[in-house]
Amino acid sequence: MNIIINNESIHCHVEYSKRKKVAIQLDPNGLLTVKVPNGTSDEDITRFVQRNSKPILDYLHKLAERQPLPETRTYAEAEDTFMYLGKEQPLQSLISVEDADEEELRVRLKKFYFTSCKKIILERMQPYMQQLKVKPKSVDIVESTTRWGSCSYDKKLTFNYRLAMAPIEVIDYVIVHELCHLLHMNHDRSFWRKVGGLMPDYKDKEEYLARYGRYMSL
């Protein structure tokens, strides 16, 4: 789930168990895990995280300072590379670079990611829909700085176009995550059990997004 702290959207993984108290864990990659008793509501989790916002933000900011910033994109035809399905690809292998200045190349590349993301999502989600016996009302690709995907109460799914930059198994995780929300809107124990049933190593995928998501940009 995503929690807003001082105008920053922080992604956190929620673990439900028979424990009696809430605990917070931050790993070296910046992944926030909130361990809570069974039945804890999203509202209570949000309040707890916000009450402990200072040490969380201090840790994440120090971690960010130690990580190199992404290089500024130049959109040079023969020099710059961009992530696609988890691998760096030359610009000209993704889009046509003829008769285009830097701004036009940026527009073409974003359009490529939107189109590719929609195609990949629709293809990859089919077997998971069959396994879960669910069907979303609609699937849209959007631009977002805070979410990789979302599911509304009227069963509409959205996915961040930047997912096309991630490895296919990470894309699959976000698809599974959002499809499972069609069955369980909250991040309760039943939700994570359903996600884990289809993808036992889902935490590895969350770690990838937490660690490399900032580099998946145009």
The pair of three-digit structure tokens given for residue 97, joined into one six-digit string: 């670079």
Structural domains in the chain?
A: 2-66 (no CATH), 81-215 (3.30.2010.10)
For 43-63, what is the mean pLDDT?
A: 85
The share of the chain scoring above pLDDT 90, in percent, equals 37
The string of pLDDT tens digits covering residues 7-49 is 666 777 788 888 889 998 887 666 788 888 988 888 898 889 8
pTM of the model: 0.74
* pLDDT for res 64: 67
**Which whole number is the average pLDDT over 59-73?**
66
Report percent pLDDT > 70 for the chain: 89
Contact assessment for residue 77 and residue 34, using Cβ atoms and an 8 Å cutoff: no
Q: Is 8 left (phi over 0), alpha (psi -120 to 50) or beta?
A: beta
Specify the DSSP class assigned to residue 127: H
Residue 141 pairs with which residues in a beta bridge? 159
Alpha helices, DSSP H only, in the chain?
Answer: 42-51, 53-66, 91-94, 102-132, 168-181, 189-198, 202-212
Q: Which two tokens stand for residue 129?
A: 């829909």
In this predicted structure, what is the pLDDT of residue 210?
Answer: 80
